[in-house]
Structure 1
Amino acid sequence: MATVEQREESTSTGARLPDMARFIDFLEARKAESENPKHAAMIDLLIEHSVAEVRDHDIERTMATLVDDCVYHNYGDPVAIERNGGPVAYRDAVRANYLESMANGSLDMDGLEVEVDHFFISDEAIAWDGYVRLRLPGAALAEAGVPLPDGGTADDVFVLTARQAIVIPFRDGLMVGEDFYLDGQGTWEKVA
C-alpha cells in the first residue's frame, strides 16, 4: 500500500516520475491475498485493463475489459471533466479518450501512478481512494494556462499529486466503467 512516507519521499528533493508498476504490484498482492475466486478474477481483469492501457497502449485489449454499454463518470476537477469530454462518457467517447491519452503520453508507465490508501472489493465493484500522480511537461501546462511552480519553466517536467477515489462496477465479469472523483486542488512539483 502507498504510505505517507512514499509521498514525502517524492517531495524531499523534487518529484520523482510516477511509476504505474507500483499500482500493478499492489493489485497483484491483493489478488494473491484474496480467498474469493470472484474477487480474484475481478482484480485480475483490472490488472489486464491497467496493463493494456498504460504499459502496452493496446486499445482493443483495454476495451475488451469493458461491457459494451460502458459509462465513465468524472467528478471534481472541471479541467479533467472537460478533458474527458464531459461528466459522462459512453463507449465511443471512452475509446477516443483512451486513444488520445495513449498518443499524448499521459498513459505511460512513467506518466501515471495510483497510490492506494483504502481498497474495497465486493461482488459488484472494486473501489479505492488515495492519490493519483500525473507527469506533465511545463509547455503543456503553460499552454493550458496553469501557473508553473516557483522557478519552473516550460522546459521543465512537473508531477501533479491529487487526491482521488475510483469506483469500478462489474457486470458479467467485465468492468461497467469508472466513477472517477478527482480533487483538482493537488500540488505541482518539478521533477528532480
Structure 2
Amino acid sequence: MMVVGLTGGIGSGKTTVANFFRELGVPVYIADDAGKRLMLTSEEIKKAVIELFGEKAYPTDAPDRNYIASQVFNDSAKLEALNRIIHPAVAADFQEWLSRQQAPYIIYEAAILFESGGHKKCDFTILVTAPHEEKLKRLQARDNSKIEEIEARMANQWSDEKKLKLADFQIENTDLSLTKSQVKELNEILLNSRKN
C-alpha cells in the first residue's frame, strides 16, 4: 500500500488538510495523536518518561504534558531522549494500523516527518505551507500563546524552504476552498500514480 507523508510547520494547517483527505475516504494516521494515546496506555512509555523526567511527569495515570513540554522546551538533548521513547512505539503502532487498512493509499501525518527521517519510509510527501503571519495568527487564536513562545516553537522546526527541497508536493493553505481543491487534485494524482 502506498504511504503518503503529510507534514507542515506548526500553524500551517496540516490537520485541516488531513481532514480533507479523510472526507475523500482516504485513511489518515496522525502520529501526534498516536503518541498522546500511547503515553496514556503504554506502561513501558510511562516508566521510561518517569525515568527521564521524574515523578512529576505522571502526577496521575495521565502525563502532565505542560510539565514535560517545559522540560524539553529549551533542552534538545531531553527532547531527543523523549523522541527515542515515543517514536519507536508510534512506528510499531503505525505498522499495526497499516496492516488493517484497505485503500489505494493512506496519509501518514507527522509534525517532524523530515526532521526525524520518516519521509524515507514514504512513497510521496506533501508539505503544507502558510505565510508566517498567518501561522502566528492561527496559533494565537488556537492556543492563546505569546508570540515569543510561538516563535521559539517554530525555531525548533525546520524552515519551509528546507522542507520544500525534500517534499514531492506542496499545498499552500491560506484559503480553505482553494486548499480543498488542491487536496482533490492531489488525490487524483496519487490515485493515478498507482496505475502507472
Given the two structures, how large is their TM-score scaled by the length of structure 2?
0.26
Highest CA radius of gyration, 1 or 2? 2
Q: Whose strand fraction is larger, Structure 1's or Structure 2's?
A: 1
Q: Whose helix fraction is larger, Structure 1's or Structure 2's?
A: 2
Given the two structures, how large is their TM-score scaled by the length of structure 1?
0.26
